[in-house]
Structure 1
């Protein structure tokens, strides 16, 4: 293993010595130590920057939390490993603080430390992984004229990610996403162009084009024996367009499609204040038979209030709850509570971000019905979807499961 410079912050003499010896046995030749944050800062002044700080949190004198705040954004420490006997919920919050401070969070080895867990994190550092700080470089947005041209030339394509019944494996619908099929740069992420479309007031034009394309695809899938609900992301600013519902109704009529075959997903963070027009739009969409889904549920601060006040009939639980499902009882409790809430309110619940069979099985055990994520399928083009559906059905509706 390439030699790493590691600083150990631990006020307990035996545990500090144990950590230092373990790091040396794992191949770290330069290991420095400190009994508290103040001494750690002094060590850094003398030896310069280190690759990793292995940090306890509760210490006499300057504790680990204050030390992390002092060295955040300083470039004196590249990555952090937490070693603490604090409860899991507190350690999880500290991990968020570390990332917000501009440091890379490698992981949490707990106490007592185990050599295999620590060795894995050291290898992750050498491979450049770990939890990336949100202080990374922002996405470079596309030129406004280019985006307008892409929309005009129909380069902004609809892609589809299936929603799956966890019990049966059957595909019950798809979320309609957007990818830019750039003639020179290939497939571009929505992060590059969606903010530009919003700024230019072009989200409705994109939505109506996607509706037309996706309803044609829905008809093709139905002729092959597959009934798909289409879910579209709707920005809160689009709700103030008083013509939105009449245009949606016209497009549905053009394709002889029912409103019940559509779902509109709205992110709760944009719904803090609702105008009369936006509320009327939501009601009219429901009157047409469309489903309204509150997207990224649990990621904002007004979820329950929004559920009580606005006419949603689906909850889409934020994928972050899945990340620590296996290890965090609180996440399991939050998912179970959301499922119970949905049932009591007569609302369906969709779980986002399912990436492996273990997560699938855990969620199925909690009573989840609908899920979406890479475990089932990644977003794909319409042509790929029409090939994927019968292939999945031919394998017993449980492809990749």
Structure 2
């Protein structure tokens, strides 16, 4: 048996179940295993022995329960990650998982009760892998300076990349989403994480948008020559809608390329639409009057009300990728996706599913009635020339 370099604290008030968990961990190779019957004793042990890699926690206990223990350890650094082991109902445990994350703790997993050795072993290995990655030297992306970003805009180094949207039933490309990439002359392709915060801070989002529109509309015309009709989606921030000249400028770009508004979609995240002022609402209405589609991006990730959804003139919902990512593990995700599809149909809104990465996910979504999707299973973001070369191949496939 290989010894595992993990320190584990078992927090369980039932003495027999605590003993089983401790023995199981030792059999799996954990040499340092500590145990406590409630949260108060667990805190005392942490003060005595120092930080642990994992706390295997029950939730409902006499004395200090699991929730209060989580609040105490919070961001203290005394607990590396949490494994929940509880007989509470699935919906309550799911809510506790959210609490763990909000308190700044890492949730390693939820094994329920009784604890199964195979599940526990898998989570121990997951923690070991995470530790190995943590110790690899990594550097956070350093933000570009305002002067660098302004120069990049002036030199047209911020290029439009395109991620296709698909009809899940036919495999046909039904549009593309425009993403920004910095083609740096020395550093190559630079991530948006380096320059997007600077654009937002310096009020340069409109300049980026109009630059992307000119690039994308030229590409749209080239695709049309190839016999392919592409709807092109651009990301808008809520702050941009407050510019009363926005729609006039967009109309000017469309006129310059002799392009109809019906070939464009504008995507806005729902978190930015909670309290859209009159100016923003007017901009949305004018975009629709121009024939453009409006899409709520990352739907389900924010907290907008259904009433707000009915008030705003959107005609597409993009469901957040997290629902697809956890579709297999979380039964409720199926219900959310089904409900969103039904909601879209009743409101006359199309629904696009984001984050499709596996064939299994695609098949599950088709069973639920999904018809449009986007994700790495189909295509990654690509440059304009690459997209034009790729489109005939995808059509032939």
TM-score bracket relative to the smaller structure = over 0.9
* 1:257 counterpart (236, 246, 259): 259
Aligned pairs (5 A) from 1:2-401: 2-128=4-130, 140-395=142-397
Distance 2:141 2:75 in 1: 20
Contact 1:179–1:188 (Cα < 8 Å) also in 2: yes
CA apart distance, 1:7: 0.7
List gaps (5 residues or longer) in structure 1: 396-401
1:329-367, CA deviations, whole angstroms, 9 ceiling, x for partnerless residues?
Answer: 322111111111111111101111112122111111111
1:244-287, CA deviations, whole angstroms, 9 ceiling, x for partnerless residues?
Answer: 22222222222222111100011121122333322222111111
Given the two structures, how large is their TM-score scaled by the length of structure 1? 0.92
The number of residue pairs the alignment matches comes to 392
1:299-327, CA deviations, whole angstroms, 9 ceiling, x for partnerless residues?
Answer: 22224122211111111112222232223
Distance 1:227 1:239 in 2: 28
**3-state DSSP class of the match of 1:128?**
helix
CA apart distance, 1:46: 1.9
**3-state DSSP class of the match of 2:314?**
coil
List gaps (5 residues or longer) in structure 2: none
Distance 1:343 1:85 in 2: 38
CA pair 66-137 structure 1, distance change in 2 beyond 3 A: farther
CA pair 205-109 structure 1, distance change in 2 beyond 3 A: same
Given the two structures, how large is their TM-score scaled by the length of structure 2? 0.93
CA apart distance, 1:129: 6.7
**3-state DSSP class of the match of 1:292?**
strand
**3-state DSSP class of the match of 2:5?**
coil
**3-state DSSP class of the match of 2:301?**
coil
**3-state DSSP class of the match of 2:317?**
strand
1:92-118, CA deviations, whole angstroms, 9 ceiling, x for partnerless residues?
Answer: 222222233232221111212222221
Distance 1:92 1:142 in 2: 39
1:131-186, CA deviations, whole angstroms, 9 ceiling, x for partnerless residues?
Answer: x9xxx998643211111111111111111111111111111001101112223333
Moved more, 160-169 or 293-302: 293-302
Distance 2:169 2:343 in 1: 20
CA pair 75-46 structure 1, distance change in 2 beyond 3 A: same
Equivalent residue for 1:399?
none
Distance 2:172 2:148 in 1: 39
Contact 1:268–1:306 (Cα < 8 Å) also in 2: no
Contact 1:297–1:303 (Cα < 8 Å) also in 2: no
CA apart distance, 1:87: 2.0
Distance 1:176 1:303 in 2: 27
